Amino acid sequence: MMPLHMEYVKPGGLAEAVSLLRQDDACALAGGTDVVVQMREGKLRPRLVVDIKGLAELQGITGQSGGVWVGALVTMAEIVKSPLLQAYRAVVQGAGCMGCCEIRHRATIGGNVGNASPSGDAAVPLLVFHPQVVIHGPGGQRHLPLANFFRGAGKTVLQPGELIKGFLLPPPPAFSLYMRHTRVKGMDLAGVSLAAAIDRQGQVTVSMGAVAPTPTRFPQVEELLSGRPLSWEVIAQAAEVLSAAITPRATSLRATPAYKKEMAKVFLHTALSRALEEGFGQ
């Protein structure tokens, strides 16, 4: 049931949005696929809902110095269709598996990152592309690596009045892949997920979802795998390290810690074999 006393405002511009969002108990509303669910469950009780859907500055996918700018309001459906983003395959796969067709037409990338779920299907693959989060707020604009954006489950570095404007993706890697386990093939949240990327210099990046309070990268695994030909021995070793590095909470209904640890190995193995098959990582 929705809160009894709640105001809704759709600001005309970014400056107005920022000043509204500085108010106590204000909350940004993009696609609303998390916000509305959380309000209905009573987990979120905003006094003011600021609908940012109309903000032009937060829209669009454009090429930028070899990389890509992705506005915060870009939806999953737009990501899936975007010619510019096809080179960032993992995030296209993540966006493509989120929710269902209807959800993908409403859910935004800013909302997925802003919601800071441990298993965000856009956030987890996005991490392996080393993006900068562009934040707009009362003090102007600031940039931050996405890896430093999350502060915990549902927690981010955003201060009152601050908004995600969008994401700056550096030039795409040579290879990337995202995979997740769900309990049904139909709509479900990830029980465990993994994204991996290999750039042209052989640098490997690995992130996982639903194994820690936030989407997380694994430097120790990346180091093991980077800058050398991928052999089965190295992959197996990296899989063990990755599996040992995660300590998932025991209370999840979506997957047990034991299963997540096993899938960490299987997913990493699958991703890297796929890379080898496609001619990368030698």
Ligand X SMILES: Cc1cc2nc3c(=O)[nH]c(=O)nc-3n(C[C@H](O)[C@H](O)[C@H](O)COP(=O)(O)OP(=O)(O)OC[C@H]3O[C@@H](n4cnc5c(N)ncnc54)[C@H](O)[C@@H]3O)c2cc1C
Residues at the contact surface with another protein, assessed by CB under 8 A? 1-2, 4, 100, 181, 183-189, 253-256, 258-259, 262-263, 265-266, 270
- The DSSP result for 159-220, as a single string, is PTT-EEEEEEEPSP-SEEEEEEE-SSSSS---SEEEEEEE-TT--EEEEEESSSSS-EE-HH
| Cβ proximity to ligand X, 76 vs 177, nearer residue | 76
CB of 156 to ligand X, least distance (A): 8
Give the residue carrying structure tokens 């695994």.
Answer: 221
| Cβ proximity to ligand X, 110 vs 131, nearer residue | 110
Q: Under a CB-based contact definition with an 8 Å cutoff, are residues 184 and 100 in contact?
A: no
CA neighbor of 52 nearest in space, from 111, 5, 101, 135: 111
Over the range 250-271, which residues count as b (16 or more CB within 10 Å of their CB) and which as e?
eebebbebebbbebbbbbbbeb
Q: Which does 30 bind (CB under 5 to 8 A by kind): ligand X, another protein, none?
A: ligand X
The amino acid occupying position 114 is G
Burial environment of residue 51 by CB neighbours within 10 A (0 to 12, 13 to 18, 19 or more): middle
- Determine, following the binding rule CB under 6 A, whether residue 26 of this chain makes contact with ligand X: no
Residue nearest to ligand X (CB): 111
- Determine, following the binding rule CB under 6 A, whether residue 72 of this chain makes contact with ligand X: yes
| Cβ proximity to another protein, 56 vs 187, nearer residue | 187
- Determine, following the binding rule CB under 6 A, whether residue 28 of this chain makes contact with ligand X: yes
Q: Which does 185 bind (CB under 5 to 8 A by kind): ligand X, another protein, none?
A: another protein
What is the DSSP code (8-state) at residue 107? -
Q: Under a CB-based contact definition with an 8 Å cutoff, are residues 21 and 163 in contact?
A: yes
Q: Which does 101 bind (CB under 5 to 8 A by kind): another protein, ligand X, none?
A: none
| Cβ proximity to ligand X, 29 vs 221, nearer residue | 29
CA end-to-end span of the chain: 55
Backbone angles phi, psi at 20, to 5 degrees: -65, -40
- Determine, following the binding rule CB under 6 A, whether residue 20 of this chain makes contact with ligand X: no
| Cβ proximity to another protein, 45 vs 53, nearer residue | 45
What does the per-residue mask of binding to ligand X show for 114-143, with x meaning CB under 6 A?
A: xx-x--xxx---------------------
* Binding to ligand X in span 159-198, by CB under 6 A: 163-164, 187, 189
Binding-site ranges for ligand X (CB under 6 A): 27-35, 37, 52, 58, 72, 98-99, 103, 106-108, 110-112, 114-115, 117, 120-122, 158, 163-164, 187, 189
